[in-house]
Chain A
């Protein structure tokens, strides 16, 4: 039996991707027991959809990187079970969406692809972790007030967004650094990247959220996500406790590390960046 959802599409009229989000929602409601939540009505009169939102897992369909539907869901305190981003799906399927707002054959093909993806019997995508945790990591410390910021001295690459990659062969493990977890304080939510999705360097690879803020994980490397840290789904606080080890976020099969490396920082360079950020920030 196929899944049924409470669907919250962005339904945007700024780009065709918003129109596609509406079409995906309509098709899904026709091919399954799913129900649509109108984002416009929901914003001003949410009581109408309370029952649907409670009874069914929530599927959010964003048109583009602005993620209006996701933001509305968060604003209303809804737990998001699944997310689709139309622009990302188009890219992943090598489809170029029209600049207009009318859906043509190409856009309708994309709608069908996404609908099939959502309605097929759950095939467990192998989420295999193939890493052994590095042993005896040596950290350099930087202290401010009572807070200590740790940075591993070897084996880790960083981007300026304080995300790291640990590379072994043609695979890498990614995560967020100590600065992120200290700034966020208690991390309560973890939205992982999708296993099987292809990311360019600096694409978003999920996010982590505390009571203070949502932090988008900016992927330090290009490649295909092969595994996520499923422990974080139940215990996102692992990121606070061990951001470089047990709090890893995802594993990725690298596609272009030789080029990606040019835009990454080793420990020495990143440590300087970290010190500057810590000195400027009141934790």
Chain B
């Protein structure tokens, strides 16, 4: 029931491709890969004082998914709710050049982009499954 839930907090940053990939990989967790157990947390709402998002992150494990090494999602979670259970940084997985390249509208996504999303989602799943099994 509720105990198997894991929060996934993506940066969704608009300035670089890493933000787009972080968002899409998180949505993929919610819609495809771990449907019943994923709870997506909205970073803007979290930062703006969303009580429900912050309370959830205090009680349940959270994986943060950041586009770049600035790690906004990770730092915000640590500031408002405590330690994160796992961190995924898109630039570590895809390389800085790729992650920091120009962001892309969802209508312009290519096969290559979707492969990047899969790669990042796979990494999130690894952490997810480890957390659930603990």
- Complex CA gap A282/B1 in Å reads 12
Contacts of A148 in B (CB 8 A): 52, 55
Mark interface residues in B31-63 (1 if CB within 8 Å of A CB, else 0): 000001001010000000000110110000000
Contacts of A143 in B (CB 8 A): 2
- Complex CA gap A150/B39 in Å reads 20
Query: Is A145 in the interface zone, CB < 8 Å from B?
Result: yes
Bin the interface of chain B by size.
10 to 19
- Complex CA gap A267/B10 in Å reads 38
Closest to B41 in A: A146
Number of A interface residues in the complex (CB < 8 A) = 8
* Complex contact B2–A146 (CB within 8 A): no
Contacts of B55 in A (CB 8 A): 146, 148
Query: Is A131 in the interface zone, CB < 8 Å from B?
Result: no
Max count, chain B CB within 10 A of own CB: residue among A144, A146, A148, A279? A146
Query: Is A147 in the interface zone, CB < 8 Å from B?
Result: yes
CB distance from A111 to the nearest CB of B (A): 52
CB distance from B34 to the nearest CB of A (A): 13
Closest to B37 in A: A145
- Complex CA gap A91/B56 in Å reads 50
Contacts of B19 in A (CB 8 A): none
Contacts of A144 in B (CB 8 A): 2
Contacts of A146 in B (CB 8 A): 7, 39, 41, 52-53, 55-56
Closest to B5 in A: A145
Closest to B35 in A: A282
- Complex CA gap A147/B42 in Å reads 13
Closest to B1 in A: A279
Contacts of A147 in B (CB 8 A): 52
Contacts of B56 in A (CB 8 A): 145-146
Within 8 A of B (CB), among A107-162: 143-148
Contacts of A279 in B (CB 8 A): 1
Closest to B39 in A: A145
* Complex contact B53–A145 (CB within 8 A): no
CB distance from A149 to the nearest CB of B (A): 11
CB distance from B60 to the nearest CB of A (A): 8
Closest to A147 in B: B52
- Complex CA gap A282/B56 in Å reads 16
CB distance from A30 to the nearest CB of B (A): 51
Residue contacts A-B, CB under 8 angstroms, 6 given: A145-B2, A145-B39, A146-B7, A146-B55, A279-B1, A282-B36
Given contacts A146-B7, A146-B52, 14 further A-B contacts (CB under 8 A): A144-B2, A145-B2, A145-B5, A145-B39, A145-B56, A146-B39, A146-B41, A146-B53, A146-B55, A146-B56, A148-B52, A148-B55, A279-B1, A282-B36
When A and B form their complex, which 4 residue pairs have the shortest distance between CB atoms, in order from nearest?
A: A146-B56, A145-B39, A146-B52, A146-B39
